[in-house]
Amino acid sequence: MNSRDLQSTSPDEVEQMRAWRHAIHQHPELGFEETRTSALVAERLRAWGFDVITGIAATGVVGRLRWGQDESGLRLGLRADMDALPIEEATGLPWRSQSPGKMHACGHDGHTAMLLGAAQVLAKHVATGRLGPSGTLNLIFQPAEELGGGGGARRMIEEGLFDRFPCDAIFGMHNYPGMPTGRFYFRSGPFMASSDKVQIRFHGKGGHGAMPHLAVDPTLPAAATVLALQGIVARNIDPVKDTAVISVGRMAAGRTYNVIPETAELELSVRALDPEVRRQLQERIVAVVEGQAASYGVRAEIGYEHGYPVLVNSEAETRFAIEAARATFGADQVEGDALPLAGSEDFAFMLQKVPGCYLMIGNGDNGHDGGRPSGPCSVHNPHYDFNDHCLPLGAAFWAALATRFFSLYPRRKFQ
């Protein structure tokens, strides 16, 4: 472990990060409602000399630090998400949510606090010349990561994020529950899955349960479709090379036992780790649904909502980030070829515009119950809490990455 970089976060600064994290945790805010969180972020960034732009994608904040006279300096984007989830917290921790039904159950409180910690350190580095003669640091505090396809990353881009704050590379970090605390995980190429939602409605003809021959029952094609859909993953997708998930999360029809309903509905979650597989899944799902509907004599209505795209880390930037982590924390703390995840992340939209890398930091077994540790716990669980031990490590990683990044100037090229 390179003590020089870790010393860049002092014990006082670690304590501050913990205080920000707990303050944000106590007042969780849902997507596009992060007014209190973004006010805290903006106030801190201004105090350290950043130009602060608020109101991008409603509650988004960008803190920009520019130094040197040379306009050709490198431009780095670091991103944290700020939103909470509609979950009732059950950790019993002293800093538990004060807002009923809302909770930081995905650790975005920690991501925000880590990037704030890094902001403080990097502002000092700029002042002391450690970040080189010229450059622009854009810290992107994004709202509404949890809101699916219409979430904060896409809206920030639509509102001109990268036109107003051009970046040569961007990086984002998420905690990784169940993995050793403070270990870093990277993967070049596809790292997280696309996430699409499909709504299907079969229109039949309702009738008396005793006289099925006078009705057209929509529950049969619905049931047959549930089974047939799994044939797509089993029979159409390369079992060695590719990954695909089709889950039926909702199946609904009728209200009582002796009435054949008019309609039956299915809702699917569809995931892939390759844009071509994603396209193939859509084509096959539509074909299967229409085929099942035709065979049972009903009409099918299909709503296909494209959510987050496949998150693809660019190779050079990923290698660069891995080297920064290895130099700072030692090779044994860094997994450079982590397995991809079936979860999704809207940073994928940003990576479609600018090369960069999304990475993970191990969050340990961080479940809590009655204020005490209760073992492994995934995100989006009422017992989850972000691990405060990650705060100085994540901030140190950001500081090390930025320091290395600006040392590339004037080459502008990753090695």
What is the contact surface with Zn ion in residues (CB under 5 A)? Answer: 106
Minimum CB distance to Zn ion, residue 20 (Å):
18
CA–CA dist 136, 74 (Å, integer): 6
- Judged by beta carbon, residue 143 or residue 261, the one nearer Zn ion is 143
111 or 183, CB closer to Zn ion?
111
Our CB check for Zn ion shows the closer of 75 and 174 to be 174
Q: Which ranges in 178-329 belong to alpha helices (H)?
A: 219-236, 275-296, 315-329
CB closer to Zn ion out of 88 and 315: 88
Q: How far is the CB of 309 from Zn ion (least distance, A)?
A: 16
Cβ-closest residue to Zn ion? 106
Question: Closer CB to Zn ion, residue 148 or residue 218?
Answer: 148
Shortest CB 108 distance to Zn ion, Å: 6
Per the CB < 8 A criterion, the answer to whether 67 and 50 are in contact is no
Q: How far is the CB of 141 from Zn ion (least distance, A)?
A: 14
φ and ψ of 401, to 5 deg? -60, -45
Closer to Zn ion by CB, 106 or 140: give it.
Answer: 106
Distance, CA of 104 to CA of 386 (rounded, Å): 8
Report the chain's C-alpha Rg in angstroms.
Answer: 24
Q: How many residues in the chain?
A: 415
Residue number with CB closer to Zn ion (106 or 377): 106
Distance (Å, rounded) from C-alpha 41 to C-alpha 80? 11
Work out how close the CB of 175 gets to Zn ion at its nearest, in angstroms, rounded to a whole number: 8
Question: Rounded to the nearest 5 degrees, what angle is found at the Cα of 2, between the Cα atoms of 8 and 170?
Answer: 65
Give the shortest CB-318-to-Zn ion separation in angstroms: 20
H helices present in 210-300, as ranges:
219-236, 275-296
Question: Long-range contacts for 44-49 (Cβ within 8 Å, ≥24 apart)?
Answer: 44/20, 44/116, 44/119, 44/120, 45/116, 45/119, 45/139, 48/119, 48/120, 48/123, 49/123, 49/127
CB of 311 to Zn ion, least distance (A): 12
